[in-house]
Chain A
Amino acid sequence: MRKPAATDAHAAFSAVALAAIDDVYRFARSLTRDEADAEDVVQEAYLRAFRSWHTFEMGTDVRRWLFTIARNVFLRSREKGKREVTLDDDGAEIVDAAQAREQWIQGGLDAILERTDLGPAIAAALAELPEPYREAVVLVDLEDQSYEAAAEVLEIPIGTVRSRLFRGRKLLQVSLAQHAMDAGLIPRATPAPSAE
């Protein structure tokens, strides 16, 4: 016997949730930084999403919902209960160093930001960001999520999203400048002033 409600729900799942699989995959890649792990996260996230589909409110942001599920899958896939150290001060020294070299970083980066071949360097720089910053930058800058949505996905206050974004973007600039310098896209830095 046909069950219209279930059929409709399955069709809606296809049209709404599965339509976002590229975004979920990209987000999983950014979380895991590993292709195989990302695929496991995506599969498990979609299974959980399907089982919980009745709880999804149509008309709300499905990507926010799926990102939250995917992140939870990712966190549980790591050693149980053992989160990476995600201190908010992580990276503070690098940000300080970035400020000390602000002129060089901006001057160098500004000259190359419109290059069309910058994608791999940005991806590599992103992959090097400490996790708390990477998550915030990926959600807001790559996945167009609002601060509020990122706060919900990451289960942190909006103020923390704001500070992680600030540091994450500054760290990204340092790392990107380094990659660009290594690739010969921008000149070598003059020695940074010693912090000591």
Chain B
Amino acid sequence: MMRDHAMDTDHIDCASAMERLFEFLDGELGPELEVRLRAHLEVCSHCFGQAGFERRFLAAVQAAREAERCPDRLRSRVLEALQREGWTGSDTP
């Protein structure tokens, strides 16, 4: 159930919690707000469920990060261009 109490110095209401949820999940919230938002999630089942969904969603996006690697022919093309530019390094660090 959503908690409708207004935001005060100690508590965050649901609207504020949802507004800052992504920052919380991204670890981009300051320490003080993080503690307050975490406290809210512990007592609010609606926001807790929402946080769980967003966390799973972000994990799925991250997992889908294409295992796509730079094609070998592009790597060769870049190296050749660099060599023409005077680069004398090696492709294998």
Interface residues of A (CB under 8 A from B): 6-7, 10-11, 13-16, 18-19, 21-22, 24-26, 29, 39, 42-43, 46-47, 50-51, 106, 109-110, 113-114, 118-119, 122-123, 126, 137, 140-142, 146-147, 162, 165-166, 169, 172-173
Say whether B26 contacts A140, CB under 8 Å. Answer: yes
Instruction: Tell me whether B10 is interfacial, beta carbon within 8 Å.
Output: no
- Given the complex of chains A and B, what is the CA–CA distance between A141 and B93 in angstroms? 27
Interface residues on B, range: 35 or more
CB–CB A18/B57 < 8 A: no
Q: Could you list 21 A-B pairs, sorted by A, with CB under 8 Å?
A: A11-B90, A14-B91, A14-B92, A14-B93, A22-B68, A22-B69, A25-B69, A26-B68, A29-B68, A42-B70, A43-B81, A46-B82, A47-B85, A50-B85, A51-B85, A109-B53, A118-B64, A119-B64, A123-B64, A147-B23, A147-B28
Query: Would you call B1 an interface residue if the criterion is a C-beta within 8 Å of the partner chain's C-beta atoms?
Result: no
Asked if B48 is at the interface (CB within 8 A of a chain A CB), the reply is no
Chain B hits for A114, CB < 8 A: 56, 60
Given A7-B88, A10-B88, A47-B85, do A119 and B66 touch, yes or no (CB 8 Å)? yes
Bound-state Cα–Cα, A51 to B82, Å: 9
Most buried by A among B64, B90, B91: B64
Whether B89 lies near A13 (C-beta < 8 A) is yes
> Nearest CB to that of B27 among chain A residues?
A146
Residues in B with CB closer than 8 Å to A109 are 53, 57
Q: Which 7 A-B pairs have the closest CB atoms?
A: A14-B89, A15-B93, A10-B89, A122-B64, A25-B70, A119-B64, A113-B60
Counting CB contacts under 8 A, is B39 at the interface? no
Residues of B with C-beta under 8 A to A21: 70, 75, 78
In the docked arrangement, what's the CA distance between A126 and B90, Å?
35
Asked if A42 and B22 make an inter-chain contact with CB atoms under 8 angstroms apart, the answer reads: no
Q: Could you tell me the distance in whole angstroms from the C-beta of A144 to the nearest C-beta in chain B?
A: 8
**Are B91's CB and A18's CB within 8 A?**
yes
A-B contact sample (4 more), CB < 8 A, given A46-B78, A119-B63: A11-B89, A19-B93, A46-B82, A165-B26
Residues on B with C-beta less than 8 A from A42 are: 70, 74, 78
Cβ-closest chain B residue relative to A6? B88
Residues of B contacting A22 in the complex (Cβ-Cβ under 8 angstroms): 68-70
